[in-house]
Structure 1
Amino acid sequence: MILQTPRLRLREAEASDAPFVLELLNSPGFIRGIGDRGVRTEAEAAAYVENRIRQSYAEHGYGMWVVEPLEEPVAIGLAGLVRRDVLNHVDLGYAFLDRVWGQGYAEEAGRAVRDYAGRVLGLETLAAIVNPDNLASRRVLEKIGFRFIDERWLPGWPQPSAYYETSHHVGADHHANR
Protein backbone atom coordinates (compact mmCIF):
# COMPACT_ATOMS: atom_id res chain seq x y z
CA MET A 1 0.00 0.00 0.00
CA ILE A 2 1.23 3.49 -0.87
CA LEU A 3 -1.38 5.68 0.83
CA GLN A 4 -4.49 5.41 2.95
CA THR A 5 -7.17 8.04 3.49
CA PRO A 6 -10.26 7.83 5.71
CA ARG A 7 -12.14 5.98 2.94
CA LEU A 8 -9.55 4.83 0.41
CA ARG A 9 -6.44 2.75 -0.10
CA LEU A 10 -3.98 3.50 -2.93
CA ARG A 11 -1.69 0.68 -4.00
CA GLU A 12 0.58 -0.27 -6.87
CA ALA A 13 -1.11 -1.78 -9.93
CA GLU A 14 -0.47 -5.47 -10.59
CA ALA A 15 -1.01 -7.71 -13.62
CA SER A 16 -4.18 -8.99 -11.93
CA ASP A 17 -5.65 -5.48 -12.30
CA ALA A 18 -5.93 -5.93 -16.08
CA PRO A 19 -9.73 -6.50 -16.08
CA PHE A 20 -10.27 -3.30 -14.07
CA VAL A 21 -7.85 -1.30 -16.26
CA LEU A 22 -9.64 -2.57 -19.38
CA GLU A 23 -12.99 -1.42 -17.94
CA LEU A 24 -11.64 1.98 -16.85
CA LEU A 25 -9.83 2.79 -20.11
CA ASN A 26 -12.96 1.97 -22.10
CA SER A 27 -15.46 3.75 -19.87
CA PRO A 28 -17.30 6.63 -21.59
CA GLY A 29 -16.00 9.19 -19.07
CA PHE A 30 -12.38 8.15 -19.54
CA ILE A 31 -12.58 8.26 -23.32
CA ARG A 32 -14.39 11.61 -23.29
CA GLY A 33 -12.24 13.26 -20.61
CA ILE A 34 -8.81 11.74 -21.14
CA GLY A 35 -8.80 9.93 -24.47
CA ASP A 36 -9.00 6.57 -26.14
CA ARG A 37 -5.91 4.52 -25.31
CA GLY A 38 -6.85 1.82 -27.84
CA VAL A 39 -6.77 -0.93 -25.20
CA ARG A 40 -9.47 -3.47 -26.15
CA THR A 41 -8.48 -6.82 -24.61
CA GLU A 42 -7.33 -8.07 -21.21
CA ALA A 43 -3.97 -8.91 -22.75
CA GLU A 44 -3.59 -5.31 -23.97
CA ALA A 45 -4.66 -4.08 -20.52
CA ALA A 46 -2.05 -6.31 -18.86
CA ALA A 47 0.58 -4.87 -21.22
CA TYR A 48 -0.64 -1.34 -20.37
CA VAL A 49 -0.24 -2.09 -16.65
CA GLU A 50 3.27 -3.45 -17.19
CA ASN A 51 4.59 -1.04 -19.83
CA ARG A 52 2.94 2.20 -18.75
CA ILE A 53 1.91 2.05 -15.10
CA ARG A 54 4.52 -0.28 -13.56
CA GLN A 55 7.27 1.13 -15.78
CA SER A 56 6.73 4.52 -14.12
CA TYR A 57 7.26 2.96 -10.68
CA ALA A 58 10.57 1.50 -11.90
CA GLU A 59 11.75 4.70 -13.61
CA HIS A 60 10.50 7.36 -11.19
CA GLY A 61 9.50 5.68 -7.93
CA TYR A 62 5.89 6.80 -8.42
CA GLY A 63 3.08 6.48 -10.92
CA MET A 64 -0.64 5.90 -11.11
CA TRP A 65 -1.90 3.84 -8.19
CA VAL A 66 -5.04 1.71 -7.97
CA VAL A 67 -7.70 3.25 -5.71
CA GLU A 68 -9.92 0.96 -3.62
CA PRO A 69 -12.51 1.77 -0.93
CA LEU A 70 -11.36 0.50 2.47
CA GLU A 71 -14.66 -1.27 3.15
CA GLU A 72 -14.58 -3.17 -0.15
CA PRO A 73 -11.18 -3.74 -1.74
CA VAL A 74 -12.30 -3.56 -5.36
CA ALA A 75 -10.60 -1.19 -7.80
CA ILE A 76 -12.65 1.94 -8.59
CA GLY A 77 -10.03 4.25 -10.06
CA LEU A 78 -6.46 5.32 -10.56
CA ALA A 79 -4.75 8.29 -8.92
CA GLY A 80 -1.13 9.27 -8.76
CA LEU A 81 1.76 11.07 -10.34
CA VAL A 82 2.95 11.13 -13.95
CA ARG A 83 6.22 12.46 -15.36
CA ARG A 84 5.54 13.92 -18.81
CA ASP A 85 8.34 15.25 -20.99
CA VAL A 86 6.06 18.06 -22.20
CA LEU A 87 5.50 19.49 -18.69
CA ASN A 88 8.04 21.18 -16.42
CA HIS A 89 6.56 19.59 -13.29
CA VAL A 90 5.27 16.18 -12.25
CA ASP A 91 1.57 15.87 -13.09
CA LEU A 92 -1.14 14.79 -10.64
CA GLY A 93 -3.70 12.61 -12.37
CA TYR A 94 -6.80 10.60 -11.55
CA ALA A 95 -9.53 8.65 -13.32
CA PHE A 96 -12.47 6.82 -11.80
CA LEU A 97 -15.12 4.47 -13.09
CA ASP A 98 -18.18 6.45 -14.14
CA ARG A 99 -20.39 4.63 -11.63
CA VAL A 100 -18.48 6.09 -8.64
CA TRP A 101 -18.40 9.70 -9.82
CA GLY A 102 -19.84 12.31 -7.46
CA GLN A 103 -18.82 10.52 -4.25
CA GLY A 104 -15.76 12.65 -3.48
CA TYR A 105 -13.22 9.94 -4.30
CA ALA A 106 -11.25 12.06 -6.80
CA GLU A 107 -10.93 14.90 -4.28
CA GLU A 108 -9.91 12.57 -1.45
CA ALA A 109 -7.38 10.62 -3.53
CA GLY A 110 -6.08 13.78 -5.24
CA ARG A 111 -5.48 15.53 -1.93
CA ALA A 112 -3.63 12.47 -0.56
CA VAL A 113 -1.44 12.22 -3.68
CA ARG A 114 -0.72 15.97 -3.56
CA ASP A 115 0.33 15.71 0.09
CA TYR A 116 2.45 12.60 -0.59
CA ALA A 117 4.23 14.39 -3.45
CA GLY A 118 5.28 17.21 -1.13
CA ARG A 119 5.85 15.36 2.13
CA VAL A 120 7.44 12.12 0.88
CA LEU A 121 8.89 12.99 -2.53
CA GLY A 122 9.82 16.60 -1.75
CA LEU A 123 8.16 17.97 -4.90
CA GLU A 124 7.51 21.67 -4.39
CA THR A 125 5.32 22.20 -7.46
CA LEU A 126 2.84 19.86 -9.11
CA ALA A 127 1.08 20.32 -12.42
CA ALA A 128 -2.28 19.00 -13.57
CA ILE A 129 -3.82 18.97 -17.02
CA VAL A 130 -7.47 18.49 -17.80
CA ASN A 131 -9.84 18.72 -20.72
CA PRO A 132 -11.13 22.33 -20.49
CA ASP A 133 -14.73 21.06 -20.80
CA ASN A 134 -14.37 18.75 -17.79
CA LEU A 135 -15.82 21.14 -15.22
CA ALA A 136 -16.14 18.51 -12.48
CA SER A 137 -12.46 17.62 -12.69
CA ARG A 138 -11.49 21.28 -12.77
CA ARG A 139 -13.52 21.84 -9.57
CA VAL A 140 -11.70 18.93 -7.91
CA LEU A 141 -8.33 20.46 -8.76
CA GLU A 142 -9.39 23.84 -7.39
CA LYS A 143 -10.74 22.27 -4.17
CA ILE A 144 -7.40 20.60 -3.50
CA GLY A 145 -5.40 23.78 -4.00
CA PHE A 146 -4.51 23.88 -7.69
CA ARG A 147 -4.82 27.16 -9.56
CA PHE A 148 -5.57 27.56 -13.25
CA ILE A 149 -2.57 28.92 -15.15
CA ASP A 150 -3.57 28.82 -18.82
CA GLU A 151 -4.62 26.62 -21.72
CA ARG A 152 -1.81 24.82 -23.51
CA TRP A 153 -1.51 22.81 -26.69
CA LEU A 154 0.39 19.65 -25.76
CA PRO A 155 1.93 17.37 -28.39
CA GLY A 156 -0.34 14.48 -29.31
CA TRP A 157 -3.51 16.06 -27.92
CA PRO A 158 -6.28 17.09 -30.34
CA GLN A 159 -7.29 20.16 -28.31
CA PRO A 160 -5.78 22.49 -25.75
CA SER A 161 -5.56 21.36 -22.13
CA ALA A 162 -6.36 23.45 -19.09
CA TYR A 163 -3.07 23.66 -17.18
CA TYR A 164 -3.02 23.94 -13.38
CA GLU A 165 -0.29 24.13 -10.75
CA THR A 166 -0.03 23.96 -7.00
CA SER A 167 2.99 24.62 -4.85
CA HIS A 168 3.80 23.60 -1.35
CA HIS A 169 6.78 24.52 0.59
CA VAL A 170 8.50 21.37 1.72
CA GLY A 171 8.41 21.22 5.49
CA ALA A 172 5.72 23.94 5.75
CA ASP A 173 3.50 21.69 7.90
CA HIS A 174 6.38 21.07 10.28
CA HIS A 175 7.07 24.77 10.74
CA ALA A 176 3.38 25.58 11.18
CA ASN A 177 3.20 23.25 14.18
CA ARG A 178 5.98 24.95 16.12
Structure 2
Amino acid sequence: MAELGPVAWPPDPIRTERLLLRGAAARDRPAFVELLTSPEVNTYLGGPRARAEVERDLPAVPEQWPGSFVVERDGAMIGQVLLRRHDRHRPAAVGKIDLGYLFLPRAWGHGYATEACAAVLDWVDHALGEPVVLATQTANVASMRLAGKLGFAEVERFRAWDADQWLGLRPPSGLAGDV
Protein backbone atom coordinates (compact mmCIF):
# COMPACT_ATOMS: atom_id res chain seq x y z
CA MET A 1 0.00 0.00 0.00
CA ALA A 2 1.50 3.34 -1.02
CA GLU A 3 0.97 6.66 0.72
CA LEU A 4 -2.26 8.53 0.01
CA GLY A 5 -0.49 11.69 -1.15
CA PRO A 6 0.74 15.11 -0.08
CA VAL A 7 -2.05 15.96 2.34
CA ALA A 8 -2.06 16.80 6.03
CA TRP A 9 -3.83 14.11 8.04
CA PRO A 10 -6.28 14.12 9.56
CA PRO A 11 -7.98 16.87 7.59
CA ASP A 12 -10.51 19.16 9.19
CA PRO A 13 -13.73 17.25 9.82
CA ILE A 14 -16.09 17.22 6.86
CA ARG A 15 -19.69 18.14 7.56
CA THR A 16 -22.55 17.19 5.31
CA GLU A 17 -26.25 17.82 5.79
CA ARG A 18 -26.60 14.86 8.18
CA LEU A 19 -23.11 13.51 8.81
CA LEU A 20 -19.70 14.30 10.24
CA LEU A 21 -16.63 12.67 8.69
CA ARG A 22 -13.58 12.72 10.93
CA GLY A 23 -10.59 10.78 12.16
CA ALA A 24 -11.07 7.83 14.51
CA ALA A 25 -11.27 8.17 18.29
CA ALA A 26 -11.18 5.67 21.16
CA ARG A 27 -14.98 5.94 21.53
CA ASP A 28 -15.35 4.41 18.03
CA ARG A 29 -13.77 1.08 18.99
CA PRO A 30 -17.08 -0.74 19.74
CA ALA A 31 -18.47 0.30 16.35
CA PHE A 32 -15.30 -0.89 14.59
CA VAL A 33 -15.63 -4.24 16.38
CA GLU A 34 -19.25 -4.44 15.18
CA LEU A 35 -18.25 -3.55 11.59
CA LEU A 36 -15.50 -6.15 11.42
CA THR A 37 -17.53 -8.96 13.00
CA SER A 38 -20.87 -8.37 11.28
CA PRO A 39 -21.87 -11.14 8.85
CA GLU A 40 -24.07 -8.67 6.94
CA VAL A 41 -21.34 -6.05 6.53
CA ASN A 42 -18.78 -8.63 5.44
CA THR A 43 -20.95 -10.68 3.06
CA TYR A 44 -18.91 -9.54 0.03
CA LEU A 45 -15.62 -9.03 1.87
CA GLY A 46 -14.62 -12.58 2.71
CA GLY A 47 -16.85 -13.00 5.75
CA PRO A 48 -16.74 -11.63 9.29
CA ARG A 49 -13.75 -11.93 11.58
CA ALA A 50 -14.09 -13.69 14.92
CA ARG A 51 -15.13 -11.28 17.69
CA ALA A 52 -12.49 -12.58 20.13
CA GLU A 53 -9.76 -12.03 17.52
CA VAL A 54 -10.95 -8.50 16.72
CA GLU A 55 -11.30 -7.57 20.41
CA ARG A 56 -7.76 -8.83 21.03
CA ASP A 57 -6.07 -7.27 17.97
CA LEU A 58 -7.87 -3.95 17.52
CA PRO A 59 -5.96 -1.01 19.05
CA ALA A 60 -7.58 1.36 21.51
CA VAL A 61 -7.99 3.90 18.70
CA PRO A 62 -8.60 1.84 15.54
CA GLU A 63 -7.91 2.85 11.95
CA GLN A 64 -5.72 5.86 12.61
CA TRP A 65 -4.11 6.22 9.21
CA PRO A 66 -4.31 8.66 6.29
CA GLY A 67 -7.43 7.91 4.28
CA SER A 68 -9.61 6.51 7.06
CA PHE A 69 -12.72 8.60 7.77
CA VAL A 70 -15.18 7.72 10.52
CA VAL A 71 -18.76 8.50 9.51
CA GLU A 72 -20.74 9.87 12.43
CA ARG A 73 -24.48 10.53 12.71
CA ASP A 74 -25.99 12.14 15.80
CA GLY A 75 -22.76 11.66 17.78
CA ALA A 76 -22.30 7.95 17.01
CA MET A 77 -20.16 6.14 14.46
CA ILE A 78 -22.28 4.48 11.76
CA GLY A 79 -19.58 3.61 9.24
CA GLN A 80 -16.23 4.22 7.68
CA VAL A 81 -15.05 5.56 4.32
CA LEU A 82 -11.56 4.52 3.27
CA LEU A 83 -9.11 5.89 0.75
CA ARG A 84 -6.07 3.79 -0.15
CA ARG A 85 -3.52 3.99 -2.92
CA HIS A 86 -2.76 0.53 -4.22
CA ASP A 87 0.66 -0.44 -5.42
CA ARG A 88 -0.63 -3.93 -6.29
CA HIS A 89 -4.07 -4.31 -7.81
CA ARG A 90 -5.60 -4.58 -11.23
CA PRO A 91 -3.34 -2.81 -13.78
CA ALA A 92 -6.02 -0.15 -14.35
CA ALA A 93 -6.03 0.66 -10.62
CA VAL A 94 -2.33 0.63 -9.70
CA GLY A 95 -1.25 3.99 -8.32
CA LYS A 96 -4.79 5.34 -8.18
CA ILE A 97 -6.75 6.14 -5.05
CA ASP A 98 -9.22 3.39 -4.16
CA LEU A 99 -12.52 4.22 -2.41
CA GLY A 100 -13.96 1.76 0.09
CA TYR A 101 -16.75 1.95 2.65
CA LEU A 102 -18.34 -0.04 5.45
CA PHE A 103 -21.59 0.88 7.16
CA LEU A 104 -23.39 -0.76 10.06
CA PRO A 105 -26.61 -2.51 8.94
CA ARG A 106 -28.77 -0.13 10.98
CA ALA A 107 -27.46 2.71 8.76
CA TRP A 108 -28.34 0.98 5.47
CA GLY A 109 -31.08 2.34 3.24
CA HIS A 110 -30.90 5.97 4.39
CA GLY A 111 -28.50 7.37 1.77
CA TYR A 112 -25.67 7.79 4.29
CA ALA A 113 -23.13 5.90 2.15
CA THR A 114 -23.92 8.09 -0.85
CA GLU A 115 -23.71 11.27 1.22
CA ALA A 116 -20.47 10.28 2.98
CA CYS A 117 -18.69 8.94 -0.12
CA ALA A 118 -19.69 12.00 -2.19
CA ALA A 119 -18.21 14.26 0.51
CA VAL A 120 -14.96 12.27 0.58
CA LEU A 121 -14.75 12.32 -3.22
CA ASP A 122 -15.23 16.09 -3.14
CA TRP A 123 -12.38 16.29 -0.62
CA VAL A 124 -10.17 14.17 -2.95
CA ASP A 125 -11.03 16.46 -5.87
CA HIS A 126 -10.01 19.55 -3.91
CA ALA A 127 -7.01 18.10 -2.04
CA LEU A 128 -5.49 15.81 -4.68
CA GLY A 129 -7.31 16.24 -7.99
CA GLU A 130 -6.79 12.59 -8.94
CA PRO A 131 -8.94 9.84 -10.41
CA VAL A 132 -10.47 7.39 -7.94
CA VAL A 133 -11.22 3.71 -8.46
CA LEU A 134 -13.77 1.50 -6.76
CA ALA A 135 -13.88 -2.30 -6.87
CA THR A 136 -16.82 -4.41 -5.76
CA GLN A 137 -18.35 -7.80 -6.38
CA THR A 138 -20.92 -7.74 -9.16
CA ALA A 139 -23.25 -9.63 -6.81
CA ASN A 140 -23.21 -6.66 -4.42
CA VAL A 141 -26.12 -4.85 -6.06
CA ALA A 142 -26.20 -2.02 -3.50
CA SER A 143 -22.51 -1.27 -4.00
CA MET A 144 -22.87 -1.37 -7.79
CA ARG A 145 -25.78 1.09 -7.53
CA LEU A 146 -23.76 3.37 -5.24
CA ALA A 147 -20.83 3.36 -7.69
CA GLY A 148 -23.16 4.59 -10.42
CA LYS A 149 -24.60 7.35 -8.21
CA LEU A 150 -21.08 8.52 -7.40
CA GLY A 151 -20.07 8.80 -11.07
CA PHE A 152 -17.90 5.70 -11.46
CA ALA A 153 -17.78 4.20 -14.95
CA GLU A 154 -16.85 0.57 -15.57
CA VAL A 155 -13.24 -0.07 -16.51
CA GLU A 156 -13.27 -3.84 -16.34
CA ARG A 157 -14.80 -6.95 -14.89
CA PHE A 158 -12.63 -9.74 -13.58
CA ARG A 159 -12.68 -12.83 -11.41
CA ALA A 160 -10.95 -12.77 -8.00
CA TRP A 161 -11.53 -14.29 -4.57
CA ASP A 162 -13.91 -16.84 -6.16
CA ALA A 163 -16.33 -14.11 -7.27
CA ASP A 164 -17.01 -11.84 -10.23
CA GLN A 165 -15.63 -8.34 -9.58
CA TRP A 166 -16.27 -4.91 -11.08
CA LEU A 167 -13.76 -2.06 -11.27
CA GLY A 168 -14.96 1.49 -11.88
CA LEU A 169 -13.12 4.76 -12.38
CA ARG A 170 -14.19 8.31 -11.49
CA PRO A 171 -12.13 11.04 -13.12
CA PRO A 172 -10.96 14.03 -11.07
CA SER A 173 -12.91 17.25 -11.19
CA GLY A 174 -9.79 19.36 -11.67
CA LEU A 175 -10.20 21.24 -8.38
CA ALA A 176 -6.91 20.23 -6.71
CA GLY A 177 -5.38 22.85 -4.50
CA ASP A 178 -8.63 24.49 -3.40
CA VAL A 179 -8.45 23.05 0.14
Question: Fold-level match, TM-score > 0.5?
Answer: yes
**What CA RMSD, in Å, does the superposition of the two structures yield over aligned residues?**
2.2
1:1-178 maps to which residues of 2 (within 5 A)? 1-36=12-47, 38-41=49-52, 42-46=55-59, 49=62, 53-54=63-64, 57=65, 62-69=66-73, 72-85=74-87, 86=89, 87-88=93-94, 89-123=96-130, 125-153=131-159, 157-171=161-175
C-alpha deviation, 1:4, in angstroms: 1.1
C-alpha deviation, 1:63, in angstroms: 1.6
Provide, for residues 81-101 of structure 1, a one-character-per-residue CA deviation record: whole Å limited to 9, x for no partner. Answer: 122222321111111011111
Which structure: greater helix fraction?
1
The DSSP-based 3-state class of the residue aligned with 1:111 is: helix
Q: Distance in 1 between matches of 2:103 and 2:72?
A: 10
1:77 partner letter = G
Structure 1 residue runs of 4+, over 4 Å off?
none
C-alpha deviation, 1:79, in angstroms: 1.0
Contiguous gaps of at least 5 residues in structure 1? none
Compare 40-49 and 127-136 and name the one that shifted more.
40-49
Q: What is the aligned residue count?
A: 159
On the 8 A contact 1:80/1:110 being kept in 2, the answer is no
Q: Distance in 2 between matches of 1:14 and 1:21?
A: 11
